[in-house]
Structure 1
Amino acid sequence: MTENLLFFIIPFAIAAALPGPAQGALIARVVSRGSTSGLPFVLGMVTGNLIWLAAAMFGLSAVALRYELLFVVIKWLGVAYLLFIAWRLWNAPAAMPTTQKVDTSGMVPGMLLTLGNPKAVVFFGAVLPHAFDMTSLSYAYMGLILVLGFLIDLCIQLAYLFAASRARRFVQSERHMRVVNRSSAGLMAGAAAVIASRS
């Protein structure tokens, strides 16, 4: 079974590490607002992937994909949120933030971005049957797969958060902060455009 786990872990880790719109949004959020604002966003992203993994594991991926309208609504909610944040960043004051407060509002947008991407459930639906005999998996083993998926994804997204947090340390003046805010706004708008262009 260890070999089977590797057939799941390796492709999943590679897919989770590939930068996409959610990672762009995470980086923009951390660089402009600080690392504490990125933690709830990461938890939202990882929770969204966990939901898709569970759906694929329990054979619900085909059912989920039938509700195309739900995907469309979730996708456009994510796009609207990213554009709203881009607008706020573009118009944000250039003053350096003095304290970091945990922004708990980030979990829902992080989850929306992940759940609005049906390719995630397609990926899991394609990888899982090649790694495991889905008809003979025990609930305990399914639980192990879910925990491993959650931890792998969490570690990778926390690495993105850490890298963005390190980059933020170079912001030393109001002029730099304005550049960061405008660049972050561009990243957010770009992520929104990528998500909006996906079918």
Structure 2
Amino acid sequence: MTLVSILAFSSALAIAAAVPGPGVAAIVARALGAGFRRTLPMVLGLTLGDLVYLSAAVFGLAALAQTFGTAFMVLKYLGAAYLVWLAVKLWTAPVGKGLDVAASADEGRMRGFLAGLLVTLGNPKTMVFYLALLPSIIDLETIDALGYVELCLAVVAVLLVVIGGYAYAAGRARSLFHRPRAVRMMNRGAGGMMAGAAVAIVAR
């Protein structure tokens, strides 16, 4: 692949990733409730979801993905249900130890990772980008093994910068809240964002 093709793909992906949607809302809410480090597994899960759709597009699995629409619908609702559960945990976190409870609302790195993966796999915006828009940006028939690796690296780099940037900014904002009332507002705000992301996923 040429440098121009990689840059065109990376630019389009960066714009699509930066536009607020269910994934960004989930990441910001998670970072507000648990901090930047505890949000990284979810960022990695989101990234893996993008790689799954990229692979489907490159290897001609778009028709297969559409055939198994029911499976993707199940993933969509599983991801939405999990976000609702996190939203409830954040909303009902005791004020006295709000930051601790919020930070443990999604205990375990694997659960955060799976949450990010489910959110991406159930996000129609991601599916449309890779299975519909990507072919208009890059001639997928000309991609060889090296080109596929280059695209995968571009996806990882772009999403770590864009989505990771959202997580870092939200994590920094979290450190400004220390008083019980502020903690309650932060927890409920993050919980509301989680619930909103779940609704957005189901509605699409």
Question: Are the aligned partners of 1:5 and 1:131 in contact in 2 as well (CA < 8 Å)?
Answer: no
Is 2:127 aligned against 1:127? no
The whole-number CA distance in structure 1 between the counterparts of 2:135 and 2:45 is 26
Is 2:187 aligned against 1:181? yes
Question: Are the aligned partners of 1:44 and 1:106 in contact in 2 as well (CA < 8 Å)?
Answer: yes
What is the letter of the counterpart of residue 172 of structure 2? R
Q: Compute the displacement of 1:139 (Å).
A: 0.8
Q: Compute the displacement of 1:75 (Å).
A: 0.7
Which is further off, 129-138 or 88-97? 129-138
Partner residue, 1:37: 38
Structure 1 counterpart SS, 2:143: coil
The alignment's C-alpha RMSD in Å is 1.8
Query: Alignment partner for residue 148 of structure 2, among 120, 136, 142?
Result: 142
Q: Structure 1 residues 123, 37: CA separation in 2 closer, same or farther (over 3 Å shift)?
A: same
- Report the count of equivalent residues: 198
Q: Compute the displacement of 1:96 (Å).
A: 4.7
The whole-number CA distance in structure 2 between the counterparts of 1:71 and 1:121 is 10
Structure 1 counterpart SS, 2:20: coil
Partner residue, 1:191: 197
Which is further off, 2-11 or 59-68? 2-11
Which is further off, 129-138 or 143-152? 129-138
Partner residue, 1:25: 26
The whole-number CA distance in structure 1 between the counterparts of 2:138 and 2:99 is 49
Question: Are the aligned partners of 2:30 and 2:190 in contact in 1 as well (CA < 8 Å)?
Answer: yes
Deviation string 1:147-196 (CA, Å, 9 cap, x unpaired) is 11121112111100111011112102111111111111111111111111
The whole-number CA distance in structure 2 between the counterparts of 1:49 and 1:21 is 14
Q: Compute the displacement of 1:63 (Å).
A: 1.1
Structure 1 counterpart SS, 2:157: helix
Aligned residue runs from structure 1 range 3-152, under 5 A: 3-94=4-95, 95-97=97-99, 103-104=108-109, 105-152=111-158
Which is further off, 156-165 or 5-14? 5-14
Question: Are the aligned partners of 1:55 and 1:121 in contact in 2 as well (CA < 8 Å)?
Answer: no
Structure 2 counterpart SS, 1:135: helix
Structure 2 length normalisation: TM-score? 0.90
Question: Are the aligned partners of 1:71 and 1:118 in contact in 2 as well (CA < 8 Å)?
Answer: no
Q: Quote the sequence identity (%).
A: 38
What is the letter of the counterpart of residue 24 of structure 2? Q
